[in-house]
């Protein structure tokens, strides 16, 4: 059986694609080239499904949620707040998994930030 090798891309619809791309570069430090190519650090990736009625993604209209691994969740959340980003007030700790926080991008997409354990 052939198997996928990894995530090859993540694509987001946007009313203003240039502005949204700039937000991800400036607020999250996403280092992409002019074609959107990003060489991410090696690490775990979680692929899982949720019940259709979940509130975990924020808006029920959002069917997927992007999750970024971060080195220091507290520092990233502080950086986002300093830039005026819409950061959720709470974080979540999962024993053996890590810590989670959330930010909503300017187009209304909730993004999860994960500091692995």
Two structure tokens written together for 9? 């891309």
Model confidence at 23, in pLDDT bands (50, 70, 90)? very high
Long-range contacts of 85-94 (CB under 8 A, 24+ apart): 85/27
**Pairing between β-strand 66-69 and β-strand 92-94 as defined by DSSP bridges:** unpaired
pLDDT the model gives residue 82: 97
Inter-residue contact 73 to 101 (CB < 8 Å): yes
| pLDDT tens-digit readout, 32-51 | 998 999 999 999 999 999 99
pLDDT at 74 > cutoff 90? yes
Q: What fold does the segment set 17-41+52-116 form as a domain?
A: 2,3-Dihydroxybiphenyl 1,2-Dioxygenase; domain 1 (3.10.180)
Mean pLDDT, the chain, integer: 94
Inter-residue contact 27 to 79 (CB < 8 Å): yes
Written in H, E and C, the secondary structure of 57-83 is CCCCCCCCCEEEECCCHHHHHHHHHHC
The CB density around residue 31, as the number of other CB atoms within 10 Å, is 10
| pLDDT tens-digit readout, 96-110 | 999 999 999 999 999
pLDDT the model gives residue 8: 87
């Amino acid at each position: 059986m052939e198997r996928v090798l990894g995530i090859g891309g993540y694509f987001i619809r946007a009313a203003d694609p240039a502005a949204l791309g700039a937000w991800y570069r400036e607020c999250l430090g996403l280092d992409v080239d002019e074609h959107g190519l990003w060489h991410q650090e090696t690490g775990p990736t979680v692929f899982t499904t949720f019940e259709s009625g979940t509130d975990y993604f924020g808006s029920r209209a959002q069917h997927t949620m992007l999750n970024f691994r971060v080195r220091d969740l507290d520092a990233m959340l502080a950086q986002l707040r300093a830039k005026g980003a819409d950061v959720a007030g709470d974080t979540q700790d999962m024993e053996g998994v890590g810590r989670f926080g959330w930010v909503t991008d300017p187009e209304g997409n909730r993004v999860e930030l994960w500091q692995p354990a």
